[in-house]
A = this chain, B = another copy of it.
Amino acid sequence: MGITLKELAASLKLSPTTVSRALNGYPEVNAKTRKRVRDAAEHANYHPNTRARSLATGRTHAIGHVIPLSASHEIVNPVFADFIAGAGEAYSRADYEMVLSMVPDAQEEQAYRNMIARGAVDGLIVHGPKLNDPRIALLTQLGVPFVVHGRSSGVTAPYSWLDINNNRSFRRATEFLLQLGHRRIALVNGLENMDFAMRRRTGYLQALKDAGISADPVLMRQAEMTEVFGHRAATELMRLPDPPTAFLSSSMLVAYGLRRALVDQGVRMGRDVSVITHDDDLSYLPNGDGLPLFTATRSSVRDAGRKAAEMLLQLIDAPKQPPLTCLMETTLIVGESTGPAPQ
């Protein structure tokens, strides 16, 4: 396709060595020739062939993302688009490329093994960690730099991760509702084999316990986080003899569903029933226009992607350093969906 180094060198009447060094900023080349080379390269739109370069250097300048497709329904987690967008920023700044592979849970391990055995990537981002996730052990054993988006309860050996404080986040949200006088608070959660969902649940339970309220299993639901699930959960819960006065939701989409169900039941949100949702601050799911629609625990997943990528690049540059970790706090944003518990 493009012009090759050898050709460029020939056209300049220089050796490939010199041209390579000139372009890569090595000192042993005259400032004047360097400029000459750079100009010529620019003019010919020369870009070194990635494959050849990585073969020579042993570094691929590529990061792998393996996105799990939820086994049951093959649902793509909608947060991943924004996460990727954030990570992509960091990569393009550092001149890395991103290779993506979406695989059903079952083939995940093979996907990782392949990527690494084929020398396709310098590092990996692990998405959607579950409790006790086996991928972490696999990757540490294989000795590849990686960063987990989230954590995996049960894995004791240290590893690099970036996560939001799901526990504290949902504890605070629950406390907020308790302070408003709510006593029956429902938790409409993601699948609790996912680590984040488990932590949110724990935070919720802790807050209840601290307030001396015993948790009611009937008020806790978990499923794939869709609008339809939110609607179904709220519909069922509101039909209980002793329905909740407040809901805690794990995603904006679920919260949409809650709201619709509440409307269906003729209940007014923020007055009769309160809702707090987690808000990943997705670009295409803004929480309201000016004032936030929902009271929410917010944390930008796009920022998370950017940060995780930066951590990984750092890890790749200095392979022997201990694991990096980053715990981000969410901000509790008060919107129109919460109010004092009805008497």
Contacts and interface: CB of A to CB of B under 8 A. Distances in A.
Interface of A: 1-2, 45-52, 54-55, 60, 62, 67, 69, 73-78, 80-82, 84-85, 88-89, 92, 97-103, 113-114, 116-120, 142-144, 224-228, 231-232, 253, 256, 259-260, 263, 282-286, 288-289
Contacts of A49: 55, 118-119
B228 A286 contact: yes
Closest 9 CB pairs of A and B: A2-B117, A47-B117, A88-B102, A75-B283, A47-B118, A51-B51, A49-B119, A50-B118, A81-B81
Given A73-B283, A76-B81, A98-B100, 13 more contacts: A1-B116, A1-B142, A47-B118, A50-B120, A51-B54, A51-B119, A67-B85, A76-B284, A78-B78, A80-B81, A92-B103, A225-B284, A226-B286
Contacts of A102: 84-85, 88-89
Contacts of A118: 2, 47-50
- How many copies of this chain? 2
Given A84-B102, A101-B97, A253 B285 contact: yes
A284 B226 contact: yes
26 contacts: A1-B116, A1-B119, A2-B116, A47-B114, A49-B118, A50-B118, A50-B120, A51-B51, A51-B52, A51-B60, A55-B55, A69-B85, A76-B284, A77-B284, A78-B284, A84-B102, A88-B100, A89-B102, A97-B99, A98-B99, A224-B284, A226-B284, A226-B286, A228-B288, A232-B289, A256-B256
A286 B224 CA distance: 11
A85 B119 CA distance: 23
A302 B206 CA distance: 41
